[in-house]
Amino acid sequence: MSEIPQLSADGIDPKMVEAMIRQGIPYCAALGVEVIEVKRSHVTLSLPYNSDLVGDPANGILHGGAITSLVDSVAGMAVFAAMQKLQAVATLDLRIDYLKPALAHKAVYATAECYKLTRSIAFVRARAYHPDTPDDLVANCVATFMIGSSDKPPLPKGTKIPGVQA
């Protein structure tokens, strides 16, 4: 099994999460997902409005698949933040309740917390919302992740992380 990089006592570096989003998860880069906040207790990502992601052309509403990708990604990042190490994880179950459409021309934020870690499973809660109305949810999610799903690291070998020394 390959060595698992350990993180500092301060937790996961936001620049590392940015590298994982941009280089380790190509569809997140293609969607334009951005890192807003990374803490051990939670992670927040955003999906800027993009007309290429519209599912309802008449109203400009984002496609649910884009919201699903955002929520799944933020939930996985919350597992890394809670574990305090970079170890491969895989989504086992992702349950999303879509509560209202993501409004046209507005970014969508998603915040997730890993509320329980076992040796092999992580349990996560996440929510998607517009940043100007964080209590008026677009979607609510609960998810489980398998820890150590692969020997491969979550970032491609040789990934350069700006501001983080190898």
Homologous superfamily in CATH for domain 14-147: Hotdog Thioesterase (3.10.129.10)
Q: How much is the pLDDT for 164?
A: 47
C-alpha dist (Å) from residue 109 to 42, 44, 161: 13, 7, 24
Residue with tokens 């100007």: 132
CB 82, CB 4: distance < 8 Å: no
Q: How much is the pLDDT for 88?
A: 84
- Given a cut of 70, the residues of the chain with pLDDT beneath it are 1-12, 152-166
Whole-prediction pTM value?
0.84
User: What are the two backbone dihedrals, phi and then psi, of residue 120, each rounded to the nearest 5 degrees?
Assistant: -125, -10
Give 129's Cβ-side CA count (13 Å radius). Answer: 13
Give the number of residues written for the chain. Answer: 166
Q: How much is the pLDDT for 5?
A: 45
CB 89, CB 123: distance < 8 Å: no
CB 114, CB 81: distance < 8 Å: yes
Output the six-digit token pair for 100: 């209202």
